[in-house]
Amino acid sequence: MLKIWSMKQQQQQAENAEGAAGKKKKKVTAAQLRVQRDLQELTLGNTMKMSFPNPDDILNFTLTIEPDEGMYKGGVFNFSFSVNQNFPHDPPKVKCTQKIYHPNIDLEGNVCLNILREDWKPVLNLNAVIVGMQFLFLEPNASDPLNKEAAEDLRTNREGFKRNVRSSMAGGSVRGIAFERVLR
């Protein structure tokens, strides 16, 4: 038999005298521990808020961004965050819960942000993600589009794109697609 077992054998008797201290309880998972830490280290400023449908479940929450400058100023945008037990080896899953007109967010709410996919690394934290999200509203990016039409508008006609953003945020239609009203 492996030596390590016999090495510890003597200690066992002492434990029996003490008596078992209740049944083993569930352990805090590595993902939970990391999210607990990441949340503490967030910098939300006054343009972002978070809400937790179930405060005991810190792996699922909503982030609300209210840009105070740029083309999307005045809008209120909600994103659902879902962190799995493989975090931080897997990135969090982020989806926009509204239908919005944005070159890097498609009509299903999928978000094109490099650090949410190919450039994710375990050393990145939730703060890096929300900073990236905020940046998407300040500087929508036409070179990496998920909504091709919106990207085309931004590239060829910046003023027209701005008008489209305004009317989509007010609940209007752009190119025949109706968007959700997201104004404060």
Partner 1 sequence: MIVTDANSQQNRWKHLHKVLTNAGPYCDEDWIPGEETITALESSKILGAGGLGCEILKNLALSGFKDIHVIDMDTIDISNLNRQFLFRQADIGKPKAEVAAAFVERRVKGVKITPFVGKIQDKDEDYYMQFKIVICGLDSIEARRWINSTLIGMVDMENPESLKPLIDGGTEGFKGQARVILPTLSSCIECQLDMHAPRPAVPLCTIATIPRQPQHCIEWAHQIAWQEKRKDDTFDSDDMEHISWVYNTAMERAQQFHIHGVTFQMTQGVVKNIIPAIASTNAVIAASTTSEVLKIATSCNPYLENYMMYAGEEGVYTYTFEAEKKPDCPVCGNLARKMIVDRNSTLGDFIDSLGERAEAQLKKPSLRTEEKTLYQRFPPQLEEHTRPNLKLKLHELLEDGEEVAVSDPAYTIDFRYKVIFNK
Binding letters toward partner 1, positions 18-57, x by CB under 8 A: x--xxxxxxxxxx-xxx-xx-xxxx-x----xxxx--xx-
- Taking each helix axis from N to C terminus, what angle separates 30-40 and 126-138, rounded to the nearest 10 degrees? 50
Residue 97 binding partner 1, by CB under 8 A = no
Q: What is the largest CA-CA distance in the chain?
A: 80
35 torsion bin: left (phi>0), alpha (psi -120 to 50), beta (else): alpha
Calpha distance 55→41 (Å, rounded): 18
Give yes or no for residue 1 binding partner 1 (CB under 8 A): yes
Determine the Cα–Cα distance for residues 11 and 9; give it in Å rounded to an integer. 5
CB of residue 170 to partner 1, shortest distance in Å: 26
Q: Which is nearer to partner 1, 116 or 165 (CB)?
A: 116
By the criterion CB under 8 A, which residues form the site for partner 1?
A: 1-9, 11-12, 14-15, 18, 21-30, 32-34, 36-37, 39-42, 44, 49-52, 55-56, 58, 86, 89, 104, 106, 108, 110, 112, 114, 117-118, 120, 144-146, 148
So which residues are the catalytic ones? Answer: 112
